Structure 1
Amino acid sequence: MFEKTLSNLEHLAVHLVGNKSKEEELILSASQSGLDQPTINIIWHYLQSAFRDLDFYRFHHPSGLEFNSVFQVAKSLFNNPQSFLSASQKVAQLLYEVSDHPQVRSGELLVIYFSHLRHAQVEGPALALFKSEKKQPFLFTEEEAQNIELYSYQGINPSKVDKAALIFAQEESEGYQVMAVDNINKGEEAKFWFEQFLRIQMRSTEFTKTSEIIKVTKSFIDQDLGDETPLEKTESMEYIGRSKDYFELEEEYNPETYSKQVFEDEAVADRFREYVRSRDLQNLELDENFAVSEEAVKKKGRVFKSVIKLDKNFHIYVHGDRSKIEKGVDEDGRQFYKLYYEEED
């Protein structure tokens, strides 16, 4: 969470960034936007809505940080906050230059400078970028000659962030501490914001590594183990349950211990560790020991939910011993589950 009382929002500018390939305009504001208290309050809500996870990234470039344009603009601004307006215009120009794919939507770019901002364990000067691509319809009323008229307009919904990035002026030599989201595009389509514009890669933190190993475990169970012969739901849940037990009880992740505890079979455990190495595209060093992040385990709680959904009639929640549930088929070909228990609440 962001700590509002310990932070200070100083500058705001808004620019319109069109799609260059469609010959849409780039409109740069000639001055900063005004900042009254109601506007600041809404921006705070916008900020809180955008960054709910604790994943951190860093700027990078294969030829060196000096070739990352957004990093260079942020660095210049942090060294000279009075250059905010020109820096915000440069960011908009950079975004416009890479907005050359037909699927890239035009939208307003909000550039915000905080002289001090605190989030979790990170604090200091920060630069926030918000791109709003989807407009929401709003209604408002106005009293006119003893009548109340109803009007509508299209605007930015502060509860629904499209694309955003938050750059903290920390660890400059390592590419700063960066948070980023794209709620419009996922997977390959999100590369425009993350890779073409910002050029960032995930930082190797306890939170990130714990989140990633949980995600990779689920992927391995679903895609690798069930590739040739699909796993029974209860079998898949058995593996997920052991993974959950490990992360809830252990303070440190050990690749060998974890893989053997979850999969038991030595050959499968070896296959899993190789799978992890092949999926570590962000170079997070997932094949080494690291401290387990309790926050990440909580955030990934939905992965551990053991629910069997049967048609639209039943949901079976399996919380404990999965050996007490059996699957079968009756003489009429109907599938069934048999549950064993000792007490009924």
Structure 2
Amino acid sequence: MVTFFEASLGKLSIHRVGNKSQEEFYVLSEEPLNIEDEVLSNLLLQYFLKPFEKVNEVYHFMHSSDNLGLNEVYHFATSIFEDLAPFHENTEHLAKYLYEISSHPKIKAGELYVVMFHNVQIEGELLDAIGIFKSETKETFLKVYPGDKGFRMEYEQEAINIQKLDKGCLIFRTEKEAGYKVVVTDQTNRNSEAVYWKDEFLKLQIRNDSFNQTNNTLGIYKNFVSTKLDEEFDLTKADKIDLLNKSMKYFKEKETFDMDEFSNEVIGNPQAIESFKNFKNSYEQEFDTEIPESFEISVPAVKKQARVYKSVLKLDRNFHIYIHGDRELIEKGFDDGKNLNYYKVYFKEEE
């Protein structure tokens, strides 16, 4: 989704933000950091941008009042895009704002980096982007180097591992009226306290484009088959795998999703179709995300979901059966003599 082989690093300001509830305060630098070392510049590009290569979801800024100007990060990002001269001053505002919402007791103190990038690619378009990153986790590193009588060793405490970016977002200079294109990562916290970065600080909402529509629909259907169907129908695991395989086949072969067509071709049973539509409606209401009745299918989203769609039937610890085709060629039964379940598989020839 995001590539940076043509990217360059522009302005960079660093501040430190503590936990307000722990009375750790914040520390603001007086001026931007001037990076003249080419090696350091390349290392920073790797540290800041590489984690976004595997990020697929694209968000946009939002505000509960529908007035984007009231979203603080959107406001300061717009100020930076429109005039780079007060760049450092705007980064100070961002640090102060992050400090104000860092009140959960488990939020760690750390350095805040605000960076201006040029020529970062997203969805095939080269754009300027503002990066906002926070490093919270520190590690100890050993350094071994030649000495007079062999080798010497030193260590560096409270250092940053450039392979592990804790938190970050990239704000791309496009689609301003819709809240910009934004990608986000948070590797340190996946619990309730993690919401402060994406939901409280950035206030993001997932963009409802073909990628997310495809990804969400496949995800909803997978959850429906895996959890909801058991409550209403007597299905074997092989039946569930067959339903998942049919849905993946539909998305791989079609260019456009149509709810009625999908329901009839993949699900078939009228009661199950009604149950799926209700399940989808509940998701839309819970996450405030509308999925239209028809949309263009995104190939990258299908590939992403294909990696988590299971077609393996696990039988105790003895056998794994991979089901890829005709469900009618596998039968389930029970052997009274052995007091065991069994599957009978039909085939024409071994390969």
Give TM-score, length-normalised by structure 1.
0.92
Matches within 5 A, 1:125-144: 125-144=128-147
- 2:307 — aligned with what? 302
- The CA distance in 2 between the partners of 1:181 and 1:43, in whole Å, is 16
- The CA distance in 1 between the partners of 2:332 and 2:166, in whole Å, is 44
The 4+ residue runs of structure 1 with deviation greater than 4 A are 281-284
- 1:44 counterpart = 2:45: yes
Distance 1:33 1:272, change over 3 A: same
Matching residue within 174, 177, 201 for 2:205: 201
Matched residue count: 345
| Structure 1, gaps ≥5 residues long | none
- 1:18 — aligned with what? 18
CA contact (8 A) 1:202 1:282 kept: no
Return 131-140 or 14-23, whichever deviates more.
Answer: 131-140
- The CA distance in 2 between the partners of 1:334 and 1:149, in whole Å, is 65
1:186 maps to a residue whose letter is: R
TM superposition shift of 1:263: 1.1
Please state whether the residue corresponding to 2:21 is helix, strand or coil. helix
- The CA distance in 1 between the partners of 2:197 and 2:297, in whole Å, is 29
CA contact (8 A) 1:324 1:341 kept: yes
- 2:292 — aligned with what? 287
Return 8-17 or 326-335, whichever deviates more.
Answer: 326-335
- The CA distance in 2 between the partners of 1:337 and 1:266, in whole Å, is 28
- 2:112 — aligned with what? 109
Distance 1:145 1:306, change over 3 A: same
CA contact (8 A) 1:276 1:287 kept: no
TM superposition shift of 1:143: 4.2
Matching residue within 118, 122, 146 for 1:119: 122
- 2:279 — aligned with what? 275
Percent identity between matched residues is 35
**1:78-110 C-alpha deviation (Å, 9 max, x unpaired):** 111122222222211111111101121222222
**1:192-214 C-alpha deviation (Å, 9 max, x unpaired):** 21111100101111111100101
Return 177-186 or 256-265, whichever deviates more.
Answer: 177-186
- 1:235 — aligned with what? 239
CA contact (8 A) 2:2 2:54 kept: no
Aligned-residue Cα RMSD (Å) equals 2.2
Return 92-101 or 298-307, whichever deviates more.
Answer: 298-307
CA contact (8 A) 1:14 1:33 kept: yes
CA contact (8 A) 1:18 1:99 kept: yes
CA contact (8 A) 1:131 1:162 kept: yes
Matching residue within 265, 268, 275 for 1:261: 265
- 1:338 counterpart = 2:344: yes
Matching residue within 312, 315, 321 for 2:326: 321
CA contact (8 A) 1:2 1:120 kept: yes
Give TM-score, length-normalised by structure 2.
0.90
Return 30-39 or 88-97, whichever deviates more.
Answer: 30-39
- The CA distance in 1 between the partners of 2:45 and 2:130, in whole Å, is 14
| Structure 2, gaps ≥5 residues long | none
Return 196-205 or 173-182, whichever deviates more.
Answer: 173-182
TM superposition shift of 1:147: 4.6
CA contact (8 A) 1:8 1:114 kept: yes
Distance 1:340 1:184, change over 3 A: farther
